[in-house]
Structure 1
Amino acid sequence: MYLKTSLLLWLGLISISVFAQDTLKNVQIENSRKSLQKSNRLTQNAMVMSSKELLKAACCNLAESFETNPAIDVNFADALTGTKQIKMLGLTSPYLLISEENIPSVRGASQAYGLSFTPGTWVESIQITKGAGSVVNGYESISGQINTELIKPLKDIPFYLNLYGSTDARFELNTHFNHKFNEKWATSLYWHGNMRQAKNDMNHDGFLDNPLSKQVNLVNRWQYANSQTGWVAFITAKFMRDNKLAGQTLFDRTQHVGSKRYWGSEINTERFDIATKIGYVFKDMPFQSIGFQNALSHHNQQSYFGLNTYNIRQRSYYSNLIFNSIINNTKNKFATGFNFTADVYDELWQSADLSRTDNSAGIFFEYTYDNADNFSLVLGGRFDYQNRLGAFATPRLHLRYQPWEKATLRLSAGRGKRAANVFAENQNLMASNRSFSLVDHHGNIYGLDPEIAWNYGLSFQQAFTLFGKKADVNLDFYRTDFTQQVVVDLYSDSQQVLLYNLKGASFAHSFQFDFNLELKKHFDLRAAYKYYDIQTDYWSGRAQRPLQAKHRFFVNLAYATHIVEKGRQWKFDATLNWLGPQKLPYTGSNPAADQLPVQVNGFSVINAQITRTFSSVFEVYVGAENLTNYKQQKAVLGAQNPFGNTFDASIVYAPIYGQMYYAGLRFKIK
C-alpha cells in the first residue's frame, strides 16, 4: 500500500510530505502524548504546550496559561490591576514576539494587557521558542517567540461549556458552538465573559486587591480545506470589550473622578480584529506551497490613573506573503516572502500628544538543511525599512546536532531590533505618582533611540531511562547583549521614572536546568532550576535588574488514575514556585513609613488542582492558588495619602492576597 500525505502547517504555511511503502498490518499502539512536548527533531529550541497542559491550572486567559511551564516566569505587574506579566530568559514580554497563528498579536498598545484578551479555552496549542526566532515572522523578537494556535473549526466539537468561579469573586463563562457544513467547510462561534463585582481588601490597606472588572469576548472563525485542490483558508473575526475599575475601596466612579477625595483608576478597552489566511499546496509538488496572511486590528484604550490620563488608540494592518519550496531535494528547503506593517497611534499621556504613524516593509529568506538524521541548520536573513528605525538587516542562525542516541545539541544566534513604546509598555508604573522623565530628545521614538540586541544560545537535551522509567534532562544557556536599549531607571529617584538611552553595557544571562521523570505510568515529575544574571549600567552604576530573582526553582507533579468505565478518571496536579531574593526599586528618599528594603527574601508559592472526569463529556475541577498563604505586606506605598509624592503601587514582588480557591465544570457535546 502506498500512502502519501501532504499537510499544510500554518506555522508559516510549511508543507510536509510523508511517504510510506510498507504494507500496513493490524497494529494497536497505546501511548499517551505528553501535554508538554519537546522534540529532538526540531532545529530550534522549541516546545509545544497542548490544550491538555492548560487544563492543569485555572488558566482563564493566555497570561495565566504558563503557570505549569518552567520556560516562562509569571509575575504580577502591579498591586492594583491584577494583571500578570510574563518573562522569558529574564526579559519582559515586549522583548518576545507574541503571535496568534503566526500573525503578531500582543504588540504596541496591547503590550500591558493583551495577554488577558485571549481566553484559555480558545487555545489548541502554544509553541514556545527560546532565543532568536524565525525571520519569517518579523525582526522584533529578541528573547523568544510565543505562538498561539486556536482551535480549528473542522476539528472542533459541536458544543463546549466551561463555568468557573473563585473565592476572589471572579466568575467566568465560556461557550463554544461549532457547525460543520461538509468535509470542506466549518465555522465556530466562541463567547467568553468574566466579571468580578465584589470588593476584596485582604491586606486592609484601603485598596482593592483585584480590580472590579467585566469582559465580553467574541470570536467567529471560518475554515475551508480541500485536500484535492490543495487550497486552505481561514477567516477570523474578534470583538472584545474589557473594563477594569481599581483603586481605593471607597472610590466611586460616578462621584470621585478628577477629585482628590479618593484615588481610583479605570481602564476601558475595546478591540476589533479580523484576520485572513489563504494557502495553496501545489498539487503535483506537495513540497511547495504559498500562503498569504492579512490582519486588521483596532485597539482603543481609555484610562486614567488617579489624576493622570492615558489614552491610546492603535489601528494596524499586517500582511505577510510566504513561498515555500525546495532546492534539488527535500533535504534543502527554503522560505521567502514579503512583510508589510502599518500602525497609526493616537496616544495621550496627561496633556502630551504622542500620536504618530509607523510603517515598515521587509523581505526575508530562510534556508533549511536537514539530513533527516542527526544534523539540521536554519539560516535566515531579512532586510527591512521602517520610517523611524531606518533600513537594517536581521540575521538569524539555528543549528541542531545529535552526537549520540537521544542526545540533541542546539546553537542559535540572532539580532533583534524594536521601537520601545515606553508608555504603553510601562503602564504598571502609572499606578504610582512617579513622574515620567524622558531624558534624551535626539532620537525618533519619544526622543529615544531604537533598541537593538544580539541573542546567543546553547542548549543540550538528553533522554534516557532511570530505574526503568522514561526521563530526560535539558540544559539551556542564553546571553542577550544590548547594543542599544531604552533604560527604565527606578534606582535614581523614588518619585521619578527616568527613561534614557543606554550608556554602557546591558546584558541578560539565563541558565536553566530541567529534569523530567515518569515516576510511574500517568505520574510525571517536572523540575527546573533557573539562574538569571541581568545587569544594566544605570546612572547610579551597574546594578541587577529590579524585581528579578536571580534564583528560581520549579516543581510540577501530575498524576492521573487509569480511565475506568464510561471514562471516569481522577487527575491531580500541583506546582511549586520558589523565588530567591529580589532587589527592589529605590525608595530611600521617602519617609520611613513609605520605604521598602533594598532587597527582599525569597518565598514559595504552591498551586494545586483536582479534576474529576465523570465521562468523556463531563468533568468538574477544584483548585487552590497560593496554598502557602504568602503575602507581600506592604503592597501600596503611601496608601494613607494616595495623592502624595510617595504613593506607589507598582513595586510588587509577591502575591498581595492570600489563599484563593476556585471550582468549575466542563461539558461537551461530541
Structure 2
Amino acid sequence: MRCLLFFIVFSLIGLLVRGQDLVLKGRVISSSVALSKASLRLVELQRSTQTDTAGMYGFVALAKGKYQMKVSALGHRTQVIQLELTGDTVLNIELVENKQELKEVVITGTQKEVDRLESPVPVEVYSAKFFQKNPTPSIFDALQNINGVRPQLNCNICNTGDIHINGLEGPYTMVMIDGMPIVSSLSTVYGLSGIPNALIERVEVVKGPASSLYGSEAVGGLINIITKEVNKAPTLSLDWMSTSYLEHNLDLGYKAKIHPKVTMLLGVNYFKYGNKVDDNLDNFTDVTLQDRISVFQKWNFSRNENRLFTLAGRFLYEDRWGGEMNWTKAARGGDEIYGESIYTKRWELLGNYQLPVKERMFFAFSLTSHQQDSRYGTTSYIAQQNISFAQLTLDKKLKNHDLLFGTAFRYTFYDDNTPATLSINQQNNPENTYLPAIFLQDEIKLARKHAVLLGIRYDYNSNHGNIVTPRFAYKVNFDENSILRLNAGTGFRVVNIFTEDHAALTGAREVVIASALKPEKTYNANLNFLKRVYAGGHTFTFDVSAFYTHFNNRIVADYETNANQIRYDNLNGYAVSKGLTGNLDVILDFGLKINTGVTLQDVALVEDGLKSQQILTEKWMGTWSVSYLINQLNIGIDYTGNIYGPMRLPLLNDLDSRQPYSPIWSLQNIQFTYRGFKGFEIYTGVKNLLNFKPTRNNPFIIARANDPFDKQVQFGNNGNAVATPSNPYGLTFDPSYVYAPNQGIRAFFGLRYHLR
C-alpha cells in the first residue's frame, strides 16, 4: 500500500513538472535578415530574453495558457503577439523597419499637421523620453540638452533667465504652449521655470524666421511646448525626484472620463527647495530658494466626424528668493539685509475648436494673466500683464496648392510701478497694445520632389503702425531620406525693456532710455540638409544647418559707459548672427543610442565700423546624450552633457578683477533607470559630474557682496564709482556676472509610476 501511494505521488509530480515544461522558441527577422539583440518579453510572467546573432530566441519551463509577448528591436516597429500554448511551440516573427521618426507629425513650422518629412520648414522634435534622460523640475532646465538652445541665467541671486537659440537672446525666442503664444515677455523671464516636464508630450523647435506666421518675438526661432494628449495619457501617473541639494519635485497626473464624450486630464506639479547653501562664502545664497505649485487641466470633447475641441488651463504660484544668508521676509524691501524676493501668480486658459463646417476651419484662443510682486533690495517692482489672443484659420487644398488663411488679434495690457508706465505729467498710464493681423501661406507642389512655401503677414501695431513680414521656403527631396530646405523671411519685435532685462529691475543700476526706441527689424535665412541612412539594422541621421540673421534698429543695453547705469538705445549700426549647426543621431541594433550636436556661431554688434562680440554669447557649443539598455537586467543608462566655448562677460570697469571671458565649461550627468517592475521605473544618478561652478578661477562672483546697498561706495562726477582703500577696484554692487548654474555635483533619486 505504501509503495502504491509513493507511485501515485511521484506520477502526479511528474505530470505537474511536464505541464510546466513547455518550450516556446523561434527566430526574429526583418526583410529576411536575422535580427540580433531583439528583445522579447512575456508580459504576464515578466520574463525577458534576447535573440542571438542568428536571430534565435527561446523560453523554457512554461505552463499551458494564454500569454502576451512584446517583441521590439531598435529601428523597428514593436509587435505585441497574443499566444495560447498547448504544447511546445515554434514561432517565427518578422518585424517591420520603422521609419516613423522621420515621418512623425509636426505642426509648428506651418501651423498645420504635416509629416515631418513633408514639412518645408525644418522642425526638430524632442519627446518626453528625451527629457527624461536628464530629469529636471522644469522645461527651462531641460532645454540645456538641445543643440543650439541654451538656458541663460541672468542673475546670480534670483536665478531668473531666458532661452537663447543660435546665440540670439531670449526676447528673440517665441515660446508657445500648444501653439498659443502665451509665454510673453514678462513670463519669459519668470514663467518658464513653472512649466513642469510632466505636462509635455513633445517639444518642437524651429530655428529661424517665423514672424510671418507668428508675429512679433518669433525672430530667431520658436519653441512649441505640446502638452499631453488626453486620450493617450495614462489613467494615473507619478514622478517624484529629490537631490542631495534637498531639491524636491513631484508630478501627479490623473485622467478621468467625465462623460462618454468628455475626458479630463489633471496634472499637479510641486517643487520645493529650501536649503540655504553658501559654498563660496560670500554670505549670499548660491542657489535661489523656491516654493512653486502648478495645477494643469486639459479637457477633450468628442464630436461628430472627429472634429477637434480641446480646452486647457493652468495656474502657477511661485515664491522665490535669494540674498544674504540671514535674510528673512521681515527684511523684504528694507536696506539692512539684501534680498531679492519674487511672488508670481499666473493663470492661463487656451482652447482650440474646429468649426462645424465642411472646410477645415479652426478657432484658437488664449487668455493669460501674469501678476508679479518683487523686491530687489529696496527696489520694488510690481507688475501685471494680461494678454488676450484669438486666431481663425482656414486650411484649404487646391490641386498643387496647400493654402492657409488666417486672421489673428492680440491685446496686451501692461502696468507696473516703474517709469515705463508713467505719462509726461507723471501719472500712471498703463500700456494697452492692440495687434490685429492677417496672414496667408501657400505651399506649392512644383513637382514630386520639389515644393515652395510663400507666406506674408500684415500686422497693425497700435503703437508703431503697419508691419509687413514676408516668408519664403523651398524644399527638395532627393529621395525619401534626403531633404534640403531653405527658409528665409523678415521679422519684427517691439520691446518693453522692463519685462525682459532683470538687471533693469535689481536696483543695482539706474535705467536710462536715451531716445524713443524704434521696433527692431530683421532679415534672416536658414539652409538645412537632412540625411538618414539605414545599414544592417543601424540608423544614422545627419542634420546640418547654416543660419544668418541681420538686425536693423537693434536695441542694446550699454553696461560699460557708466557702471551705475544701464543705457538703452537703438544701435547706430547693425547686428548679425551667423553660423553652422549640426546634429548626428545614431541608433545601433545592440541597444546603443547616441545623439550629439555642435553649433558654431558668430553673434556680434557693428557700430561705427567696430565689431564687438555680444555679451554672454558663446562662440561654439556642443551637446550629447548616450543611452544604452541592458535588456537582461532591465536597466537603462543615460550619459548626457553639454560644453560651451568662452563668452564675453559683463565687467564693471577696467579694474574689475573678475575674468573678462568665461572658461570652456561643461555640465555632465549620468543616470541609471531600472524598469523591471510593472508600471514602475526607479532612477538615480549624478548631475554635474565635473563639479563645475562659475566661481572657479574668480576672486568673487557678486561684486561688492559685502556692501549690497553701496553705502560705502564713493562716486565721481561722471557717476562711476572711484577706487578707495575699502573699494580698491572701484566697484558697485552687481549680481549680473553670471553665465552658468552655481550648483556643484549632486546626486538624485526618483520614482515614476504609470497606470494605463
Same fold (TM over 0.5): yes
In 1, the alpha carbon distance for the partners of 2:260 and 2:99 equals 28
Q: Deviation of residue 479 (structure 1)?
A: 0.7
3-state DSSP class of the match of 2:337? Answer: coil
- The residue correspondences of 1:90-239 to structure 2 (distance < 5 A) are 90-133=167-210, 135-181=212-258, 184-226=261-303, 228-239=304-315
Q: Is residue 429–residue 650 contact of structure 1 (8 Å, CA) maintained in 2?
A: no
Instruction: Note closer, same or farther for the CA distance 1:539–1:198 as it changes in structure 2 (3 Å cut).
Output: farther
Instruction: Note closer, same or farther for the CA distance 1:44–1:127 as it changes in structure 2 (3 Å cut).
Output: same
1:632 is aligned to 694
- The residue correspondences of 1:575-654 to structure 2 (distance < 5 A) are 575-589=640-654, 592=655, 594-633=656-695, 634-644=700-710, 646-654=732-740
Q: Deviation of residue 355 (structure 1)?
A: 2.6
* 1:267 to 2:342 alignment: yes
1:436 is aligned to 511
In 2, the alpha carbon distance for the partners of 1:391 and 1:221 equals 36
Q: Is residue 77–residue 85 contact of structure 1 (8 Å, CA) maintained in 2?
A: yes
**Structure 2 letter corresponding to 1:297:** T
Instruction: Note closer, same or farther for the CA distance 1:641–1:539 as it changes in structure 2 (3 Å cut).
Output: farther
3-state DSSP class of the match of 2:130? Answer: helix
In 2, the alpha carbon distance for the partners of 1:264 and 1:52 equals 38
Q: Is residue 73–residue 88 contact of structure 1 (8 Å, CA) maintained in 2?
A: yes
1:229-265 CA-partner distances (Å, limit 9, x unpaired):
34221111221111111111111221x2333221101
* 1:658 to 2:725 alignment: no
Q: Deviation of residue 521 (structure 1)?
A: 3.4
3-state DSSP class of the match of 1:220? Answer: strand
| More divergent stretch after superposition (352-361 vs 205-214) | 352-361
The sequence identity of aligned pairs, in percent, is 23
3-state DSSP class of the match of 2:129? Answer: helix
1:509-553 CA-partner distances (Å, limit 9, x unpaired):
121122222244331222222111111135894310011110222
2:543 is aligned to 474
Instruction: Note closer, same or farther for the CA distance 1:335–1:129 as it changes in structure 2 (3 Å cut).
Output: same
3-state DSSP class of the match of 2:186? Answer: helix
**Structure 1 letter corresponding to 2:319:** N
Q: Is residue 82–residue 209 contact of structure 1 (8 Å, CA) maintained in 2?
A: no
1:286-308 CA-partner distances (Å, limit 9, x unpaired):
xx411001211111001011111
Q: Is residue 134–residue 380 contact of structure 1 (8 Å, CA) maintained in 2?
A: no
- The residue correspondences of 1:290-301 to structure 2 (distance < 5 A) are 290-301=361-372
2:717 is aligned to none
In 1, the alpha carbon distance for the partners of 2:585 and 2:509 equals 44
Q: Is residue 247–residue 273 contact of structure 2 (8 Å, CA) maintained in 1?
A: yes
3-state DSSP class of the match of 1:179? Answer: strand
Q: Deviation of residue 142 (structure 1)?
A: 0.7
Unpaired runs of 5+ in structure 2? 1-92, 107-115, 423-428, 711-730
Q: Is residue 267–residue 302 contact of structure 1 (8 Å, CA) maintained in 2?
A: yes
Instruction: Note closer, same or farther for the CA distance 1:120–1:468 as it changes in structure 2 (3 Å cut).
Output: closer
Q: Deviation of residue 134 (structure 1)?
A: 6.7
Q: Which of 587, 601, 605 does residue 518 from structure 1 map onto? A: 587
1:503 is aligned to 572
Q: Deviation of residue 145 (structure 1)?
A: 1.4
**Structure 2 letter corresponding to 1:110:** S
Q: Is residue 458–residue 467 contact of structure 2 (8 Å, CA) maintained in 1?
A: yes
Q: Which of 29, 37, 41 does residue 96 from structure 2 map onto? A: 29
In 1, the alpha carbon distance for the partners of 2:452 and 2:599 equals 27
**Structure 2 letter corresponding to 1:363:** I
* 1:558 to 2:634 alignment: no
**Structure 1 letter corresponding to 2:441:** E
| More divergent stretch after superposition (185-194 vs 549-558) | 549-558
**Structure 2 letter corresponding to 1:398:** A
TM-score, with length taken from structure 1: 0.88
Instruction: Note closer, same or farther for the CA distance 1:580–1:153 as it changes in structure 2 (3 Å cut).
Output: same
Q: Is residue 154–residue 185 contact of structure 1 (8 Å, CA) maintained in 2?
A: no
Q: Deviation of residue 485 (structure 1)?
A: 1.6
1:62 is aligned to 139
Q: Deviation of residue 35 (structure 1)?
A: 11
Instruction: Note closer, same or farther for the CA distance 1:61–1:546 as it changes in structure 2 (3 Å cut).
Output: same
* 1:530 to 2:599 alignment: yes
2:485 is aligned to 410
3-state DSSP class of the match of 1:70? Answer: coil
Q: Is residue 574–residue 608 contact of structure 1 (8 Å, CA) maintained in 2?
A: yes
Q: Which of 475, 492, 497 does residue 400 from structure 1 map onto? A: 475
3-state DSSP class of the match of 1:505? Answer: strand
2:464 is aligned to 389
1:573 is aligned to 638
- The residue correspondences of 1:322-341 to structure 2 (distance < 5 A) are 322-327=393-398, 329=399, 331-341=400-410
Q: Deviation of residue 467 (structure 1)?
A: 8.0
Instruction: Note closer, same or farther for the CA distance 1:168–1:538 as it changes in structure 2 (3 Å cut).
Output: farther
In 1, the alpha carbon distance for the partners of 2:479 and 2:362 equals 37
3-state DSSP class of the match of 1:91? Answer: coil
* 1:669 to 2:744 alignment: no
Q: Is residue 366–residue 389 contact of structure 2 (8 Å, CA) maintained in 1?
A: yes
Q: After TM superposition, which residue ranges in structure 1, 4 or more long, deviate above 6 angstroms? A: 35-38
Q: Flag the structure with larger Rg.
A: 2
Q: Which of 483, 489, 500 does residue 425 from structure 1 map onto? A: 500
In 1, the alpha carbon distance for the partners of 2:749 and 2:192 equals 23
* 1:289 to 2:368 alignment: no
**Structure 2 letter corresponding to 1:176:** G
3-state DSSP class of the match of 1:141? Answer: coil
**Structure 2 letter corresponding to 1:669:** L
**Structure 1 letter corresponding to 2:683:** Y
Q: Deviation of residue 223 (structure 1)?
A: 0.7
1:20-47 CA-partner distances (Å, limit 9, x unpaired):
xxxxxx9753659769979443211111
TM-score, with length taken from structure 2: 0.78
In 1, the alpha carbon distance for the partners of 2:340 and 2:294 equals 22
1:257 is aligned to 332
1:461-494 CA-partner distances (Å, limit 9, x unpaired):
2223578732122221111111122112233333
| More divergent stretch after superposition (645-654 vs 361-370) | 645-654
In 2, the alpha carbon distance for the partners of 1:133 and 1:386 equals 18
